[in-house]
Amino acid sequence: MELNSYFKSVLEQDNPSIVLCDLEHTIVYMNPAAKENYKKRGGADLIGKSLLACHNPKSVEEIQRVVAWFSESKEHNRIHTFFNEKQNKDVYMIALRDDSGNLIGYYEKHEFRTRDTSILYDFS
């Protein structure tokens, strides 16, 4: 069974922004939420461009440090990068690895802490 369609669907349906980058920091994928969230910075046009161009020098240094740490060990796969108090979310960088465990890229994961108050099973 080909799982790529399933994996892509998971990314496409997720509410938080998902931006995948290769090891050269090139944006290789943005889910619809990311395209909308980063619309003012170019949205879908950011695909194929450097993530580092969207960050200040201090952030670029931190991103490079994290990717170097990911490279040190197959066990280095997740690091907490900051808490956004305004949006009540923790943000992590996550290593992307191939089937052999080799580092192939990374992405930023947003975990919101605010309780979802929408109506359960609301089919309207």
CATH number, domain at 47?
3.30.450.20
Q: Which domain holds residue 84?
A: 16-112
* Percentage of the chain exceeding pLDDT 70: 99
Q: How many domains does the chain have?
A: 1
**How would residue 123 be classed by pLDDT, with cut points 50, 70 and 90?**
confident
**How would residue 40 be classed by pLDDT, with cut points 50, 70 and 90?**
very high
pLDDT recorded at residue 51 = 96
Q: Are 94 and 106 in contact (CB under 8 A)?
A: yes
Q: With respect to residue 120, please indicate whether it lies within any of the assigned structural domains.
A: no
pLDDT recorded at residue 2 = 72
Q: How far apart are CA 26 and CA 30, in angstroms?
A: 11
DSSP secondary structure of 62-82: HHHHHHHHHHH-TT--EEEEE
**How would residue 1 be classed by pLDDT, with cut points 50, 70 and 90?**
low
Q: With respect to residue 5, please indicate whether it lies within any of the assigned structural domains.
A: no
